[in-house]
Structure 1
Amino acid sequence: MRDDSTSQQAVGFLLDLVDDRTGERVRRRIGLPGPDRSPKAQRRLLSLWTWPPVPASLLLWVLEEDDPDLNTVVWRHLPANDGIRRAIVRGVPFGPGRSKPVPVHPTLRGQEPPVPESFTRLALIGALRAVTSMQEGRAAASMVVEHPDWQEAADADRERPLPGYARWALSVRPDCPPALRAGFGSHRKFTHRVQQAGILSGPAEYATQHSPAARVLGLLSLGNTLFPARLGAARDALRPLVHDHLGDREEAWAVLAQLMPTFHGTAPELVATAGAIA
């Protein structure tokens, strides 16, 4: 197998879905090093990792771990989203059912984004209702930080729909409650904007519908460190496909390893193609 760390990690993620004996045999066959799952190795990968653009929901899965160190990783790779940055530096927990404040990493203390002038004058709902552009929408939405803020925005929208740009800015936040996002409507353009932002139903959707496969599987290979609570859903979605198309067939795995670096399709398409070729 060619020396490509992302491709190696991607193949390794799929090999973890078969039994240990098959995994060891296939690794010898394709020349893939054994995995180093030590915490030190995983943290080193994170420190060196340069993420391409990733779905916004993936960043939320990392935040749900409520780990100060992981929050710094998200901070480095977060697109322009002052609302989430504000939540991180205020210690807001993202994990389901959690209420205890999250310690703020020393490097992030005191880095809260500026408070928008409209919020100072009009408070939260007033600022959202005054929105007339996407820039204003992002600024106002950045003050929706904790659960009561989201509830206040939802109540205001039910009373009288918020401006379109305000709805848009709220809906593309990965931490926007799904019920609120659904309440904003299902117009084709609105749905497209949400999809463009990378709002996913869950890890299974990312594992099976996004591409290229090497990038997707490479990120999932870091899931034990980045988002362990969410990783099982991705594994469960891919495991039957791996068993059906690759199983313990060394030749099929060898084809998969050869295709991985240049394959542009999804992981299911890659697995099926490798199995068919072999």
Structure 2
Amino acid sequence: MNFALILFIALAVTGGIWLLDVLLFKRFRDKDAREPLLVEYAKSFFPVILVVFGLRSFLVEPFKIPSGSMMPTLLIGDFILVNKYTYGIRLPVINKKVVALNNPERGDVMVFRYPADPGLDYIKRVVGVPGDVVEYRDKQLSINGQPVRTVNTSTYSYVGNGLSYVTAMVYQEHLNSVGHAMMTEPGKLAVYPSQVVDFPYRENCSYNAEGEGFVCKVPEGQYFMMGDNRDASNDSRYWGFVPDRNIVGKAFFIWMNFDDFGRIGTTLK
């Protein structure tokens, strides 16, 4: 559901009714006559919808995390806020950038429109920026030939698909100056080649047939995304690069989790 489009239509309808009343209908009413109910509702709702539309389109947008692909950073049920202007100001609904500001950096947690279906919003971590050579082999991530520093810190257990109990190894990974948590499951392959689909710039990637890893060169204007829950994430390994036009914004804050109030106020790394 394109909520931005629904808000825009509501804004246009309520604003149009109000404007028509001011310019046309009002002159035919008696001065003491009560405004039609439809006009009253339009005048009441238009300012509210305008504020919500403006905040959501240009400042911050709320999202709910639906899957465990970003565990342990983000949990199912986390409600997060996404900064809409960090990566530039975009026109609402059509998502066209009109003012360029910052570019996504490695390590950013980013919300974007899924390339295969722009009606879906995904959230992953930026691993590769334009021009990067991303290699993931035997669960070790390398950028431009340099292994990314990872330090084993703990384990993390959770209930996975099919109610199976999963215990993963948690690492502190440093894609930038700020470390973040990432985890992998022993016994899982780095990538499952049979699940890789055809995607734009597929020729930029090379996969090991045994699933030991892959290497991709990120094209200009594209980004390579991976989930922090590396072995339970459907990400750029399988469906390719994220174009700049699909960017929604940078996730930065957990404002609610009804199952764990202790997560409220958490700043994302």
TM-score by length of 2: 0.24
Q: Greater share of strand residues, 1 or 2?
A: 2
Q: Which of structures 1 and 2 has the bigger CA Rg?
A: 2
Q: Greater share of helix residues, 1 or 2?
A: 1
**Which structure has more RCO (C-alpha within 8 Å, separation ≥ 6)?**
1
